[in-house]
Amino acid sequence: MYVKHLNSSVARPVKELKGFARILLQPAQMKTVTLPLTGEQLAYWDAGKHSFVVEDEKIQIMVGNSSVDQKLNRTIRVVR
């Protein structure tokens, strides 16, 4: 699971890996995978405040086989 910060007030990576699970599927097999995403995982270090900060912002969540092959792509709003 990759996360992209869409309107962060600080420079962030284009994509950040925030969770993964390695699973093996047979052809046509389906499986539910849960990847928790916490506020702590979305925080950045603010040197001026000497603490971690979670911004009110939109983030894009991407899930797939790799960083270039995402099958699921959703945008959500983070509210502190």
Are 32 and 39 in contact by the 8 Å Cβ rule? The answer is no
Q: What is the pLDDT at residue 67?
A: 84
For residue 77, list its beta bridge partners.
58
Domain residue extents for the chain: 2-24+32-78
pTM summary value = 0.85
Q: Is the pLDDT of residue 70 over 90?
A: no
The class (CATH top level) of 2-24+32-78 is mainly beta
Q: Is the pLDDT of residue 78 over 80?
A: yes
Q: How far apart are CA 16 and CA 5, in angstroms?
A: 9
Q: Is the pLDDT of residue 80 over 80?
A: no
Q: Is the pLDDT of residue 71 over 80?
A: yes
Structure tokens at 57: 């912002």
